Amino acid sequence: MTIHIGAAPGDIAETVLMPGDPYRAKWAAETFLDDPKLVNDVRGMLGYTGTWKGQRVTIHGSGMGMPSLSIYANELIRDYGAKTLIRIGSCGAMQEQVSLRDVIIAMTASALSTPSRGIFREIGFAPCADWSLLRAATLAAEARGATYHVGGVYSADVFYDERPDLNEIMTRHGVLGVEMEAAELYNVAARHGVRALAVLTVSDHLLREEALSSKDRETGFSEMVQIALEAAFP
């Protein structure tokens, strides 16, 4: 048990999928896992452990933003022995060739700042995904016939952004989409020597000003979760 996670020793699997929304964790666990068991509900941040094709998996919410993600990722790794962490979440497309419901597999994650900035100080550390997970996710998406894109994402530290110039710069440099957690997940994973990846569903399009409905967001995320699970256990 930690300050933020009430799970008992052994309740957390070595493979953890991390949606931002705790209720998305509940939905994913009940939809994809066999015999999911609630292992954490401290502060309303839900975590479930079950099995997928005989493999133990935990699906645990991370909350919104990098500071919240950093807390849960650190505790899952340090105190519960998590070895593979895969973010599953939504993002906003920043390129014309990317459409709503497409899947983005994040090879790198740029950020204006992260909770790890104080550690890196003057170094512009480049957070990136684990290659084995990235490759496995790409192969899984290909095999499923999913419309997917592999490349960089931008992890914003604010939701109501009043710096449109930053989005323009990211778009100009080929960044595929914007979200709020991947960069710090990659930082924490690198620091602890574990594997990390972000598999994202496009729920909004910044250039076209399009967005999925709340219902479409839930039903349209199945592909992303399946790809994440297949990447973890190729």
41 is in an annotated binding site: no
Q: How confident is the model at residue 162 (pLDDT cuts 50, 70, 90)?
A: confident
Amino acid at 25: A
Distances (CA, A) of 56 to 14, 17, 78, 162: 8, 11, 19, 42
96 is in an annotated binding site: no
Q: Is 46 exposed, middle or buried (0-12, 13-18, 19+ CB in 10 A)?
A: buried
Let me know if residue 66 belongs to a domain. yes
Q: Which two tokens stand for residue 208?
A: 């076209």
From 132, 154, 157, select the one nearest 69 (Cα to Cα): 157
pLDDT exceeds cutoff 70 at 34: yes
Q: List the CATH number of the domain containing 29.
A: 3.40.50.1580
How large is the average pLDDT for residues 128-143?
98
4 is in an annotated binding site: yes
Which H or E run includes 84?
Answer: strand 84-93
Gap between the Cα atoms of 61 and 77, Å rounded: 14
121 is in an annotated binding site: no
How large is the average pLDDT for residues 154-168?
90
Q: How many CB atoms lie within 10 A of CB 218?
A: 16
Q: What is the mean pLDDT of the chain?
A: 95
Alpha carbon 202 to its chain centroid, in Å, reads 13
Terminal C-alpha separation, the chain: 31
From 196, 185, 194, select the one nearest 155 (Cα to Cα): 185
Let me know if residue 135 belongs to a domain. yes
Is the Cβ–Cβ distance between 221 and 107 less than 8 Å? no
pLDDT exceeds cutoff 70 at 6: yes
How large is the average pLDDT for residues 180-185?
98
pLDDT of residue 28: 96
How large is the average pLDDT for residues 121-133?
95
How large is the average pLDDT for residues 200-221?
86
Q: Is 206 exposed, middle or buried (0-12, 13-18, 19+ CB in 10 A)?
A: buried
Give me the residue label for tokens 């290659």. Answer: 131
Q: List the single range of 89-98, 128-137, 143-152, 209-218 with lowest mean pLDDT.
A: 209-218
Gap between the Cα atoms of 80 and 122, Å rounded: 31
Among candidate residues 21, 130, 204, 216, the one labeled active-site is 204
Q: How many CB atoms lie within 10 A of CB 36?
A: 21
pLDDT exceeds cutoff 80 at 218: no
Gap between the Cα atoms of 217 and 211, Å rounded: 9
From 85, 29, 221, 224, select the one nearest 141 (Cα to Cα): 224
Structural domains counted in the chain:
1
Q: How confident is the model at residue 38 (pLDDT cuts 50, 70, 90)?
A: very high
Structural domain of 40: 15-232
Let me know if residue 3 belongs to a domain. no
89 is in an annotated binding site: yes
In this prediction, what percent of the chain has a pLDDT beyond 70?
99
How large is the average pLDDT for residues 191-206?
97
149 is in an annotated binding site: no
Q: List the single range of 87-91, 138-142, 161-165 with lowest mean pLDDT.
A: 161-165
Q: How confident is the model at residue 43 (pLDDT cuts 50, 70, 90)?
A: very high
pLDDT of residue 176: 98
Alpha carbon 125 to its chain centroid, in Å, reads 19
Whether residue 204 lies in the annotated active site: yes
Is the Cβ–Cβ distance between 56 and 48 less than 8 Å? no
Q: How confident is the model at residue 219 (pLDDT cuts 50, 70, 90)?
A: low
pTM of full prediction above 0.85: yes
Let me know if residue 228 belongs to a domain. yes
Gap between the Cα atoms of 90 and 93, Å rounded: 10
